[in-house]
């Protein structure tokens, strides 16, 4: 009993400590990017208790019949704040949350939107991930690493509506083109294009102003997906991380070129059976090494690509 009280007190204290430490830039504040379109921008950092996992973006589009949210942010508390911000802009309800992919920083806020009556829409390939041991392990680790923002009440929320192929959904006279583009960054990558506003919500297919997190991505397919997106008529890209862009082509191109560079340098090394360390040391990273998170992400990106290219060259 006493132990339980001590634990409750400790939790309250921790919440207070981290609550007090929340900085202005760690609070979702809507930025208008097109008529009726807003985004909130997470910081270029790794998820932590201090930033409440506010390291990814979310977007929303206000239509005559309700609001469409794209991605749910990295903790229920952030999603709650985003919902409050949306309510300051419109009295219309959030009808849908479209998930670009099920990485932790984009989905831990889903339960908040679901609780507020929104339907969750995602690409069907996410189902396999949600049922996997990996997803459970990830959540378990997050409950430690991101405590108290992620705790035993945080859960994984499957879609109410699964998307199989390209599909256009309409709300309040606004078309939303949902285009599956996985497996690229993840198997379930989905981008959302609003043709009336020439706005693309690109999820983690496009990283702006930072080195992408490549992980176990299928970079070959990712490059083809970016090539397909380069054909769209786009004024604004809202990426999964970093600021919105009105230089869509350059951003798509940068992500594309980075992936191509990884595949070229690591592919050559893998084919020549050159050890990773040597290949990494002699590769020319000068075009990318000034980008944020280069130090944190490039080496592991290169290593994962080396393994992928070894596998592909077999």
The angle at the Cα of 253, spanning 208 to 284, to the nearest 5 degrees, equals: 90
Task: Quote the least distance from Cβ 130 to Zn ion, whole Å.
Answer: 17
Tell the smallest beta-carbon distance from residue 63 to Zn ion (Å): 26
Residue of 30, 36, 180, 240 that binds Zn ion (CB under 5 A): 240
Minimal distance in Å, beta carbon 241 to Zn ion?
A: 6
> How is 132-156 classified by DSSP, letter by letter?
SHHHHHHHHHHHHHTTTTS-TT---
Q: Measured between alpha carbons, how far is 62 from 78 in angstroms, rounded to an integer?
A: 19
Restricting to residues 98-157, name those near Zn ion by CB under 5 A: 103
Residue whose CB is less far from Zn ion, 206 or 309: 206
CB of 71 to Zn ion, least distance (A): 9
User: CA quadruple 60, 71, 111, 117: dihedral positive or negative?
Assistant: positive
Distance (Å, rounded) from C-alpha 51 to C-alpha 43? 8
DSSP for 215-271, please give it.
Answer: TT--HHHHHHHHHHHTTS--SEEEEEES--BS-HHHHHHHHHHHHHHHHHHHHHHHH
CA atoms within 13 A on the CB side of 15: 11
Instruction: Give the residue with the Cβ less far from Zn ion, 76 or 240.
Output: 240
Q: Does 56 bind Zn ion (CB under 5 A)?
A: yes
- Does 212 bind Zn ion (CB under 5 A)? Our answer is no
Sequence-separated (6 or more) residues with CB below 8 Å from residue 287: 257, 261
Query: Would you count residue 189 as binding Zn ion (CB under 5 A)?
Result: no
Nearest Cα to 198, choosing from 256, 251, 238?
A: 238
Nearer to Zn ion, 81 or 105 (CB): 105
- Residues touching Zn ion: how many (CB under 5 A)? 4
In terms of CB distance, is 202 or 236 closer to Zn ion? 202
Among 81, 204, 218, 251, binds Zn ion (CB under 5 A): 204
Q: Candidates 95-103, 152-160, 246-254, 256-264: pick the segment binding Zn ion (CB under 5 A).
A: 95-103
103 vs 263 by CB, closer to Zn ion: 103
Residues making contact with Zn ion (CB under 5 A): 56, 103, 204, 240
């Amino acid at each position: 009993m006493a132990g339980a009280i001590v634990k409750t007190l400790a939790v309250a204290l921790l919440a207070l400590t981290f609550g007090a430490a929340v900085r202005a830039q760690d609070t979702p504040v809507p930025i208008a990017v097109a008529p009726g379109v807003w985004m909130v921008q997470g910081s270029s950092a790794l998820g932590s208790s201090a930033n409440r996992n506010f390291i990814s973006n979310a977007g929303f589009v206000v239509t005559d019949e309700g609001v469409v949210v794209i991605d749910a942010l990295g903790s229920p508390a952030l999603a709650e704040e985003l919902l409050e911000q949306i309510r300051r802009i419109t009295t219309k309800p959030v009808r849908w949350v479209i998930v670009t992919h099920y990485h932790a920083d984009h989905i831990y806020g889903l339960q908040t939107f679901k609780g507020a009556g929104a339907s969750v829409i995602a690409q069907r390939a996410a189902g396999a991930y949600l049922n996997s041991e990996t997803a459970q392990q990830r959540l378990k680790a997050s409950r430690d690493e991101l405590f108290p923002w992620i705790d035993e009440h945080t859960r994984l929320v499957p879609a109410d509506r699964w998307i199989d192929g390209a599909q256009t959904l309409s709300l309040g006279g606004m078309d939303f083109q949902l285009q599956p583009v996985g497996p690229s960054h993840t198997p379930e990558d989905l981008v959302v294009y609003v043709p009336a506003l020439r706005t693309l919500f690109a999820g983690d297919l496009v990283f702006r102003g930072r080195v992408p997190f490549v992980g176990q991505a299928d970079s070959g397919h990712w490059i083809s997906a970016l090539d397909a997106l380069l054909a769209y008529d786009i004024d604004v890209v809202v990426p999964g991380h970093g600021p919105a862009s009105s230089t869509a082509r350059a951003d798509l191109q940068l992500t594309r070129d980075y992936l191509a560079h990884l595949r070229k340098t690591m592919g050559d090394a893998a084919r020549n059976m050159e050890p990773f360390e040597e290949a990494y040391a002699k590769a020319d990273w000068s075009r990318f090494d000034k980008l944020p998170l280069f130090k944190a992400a490039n080496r592991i990106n290169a290593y994962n690509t080396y393994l992928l290219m070894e596998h592909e060259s077999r």
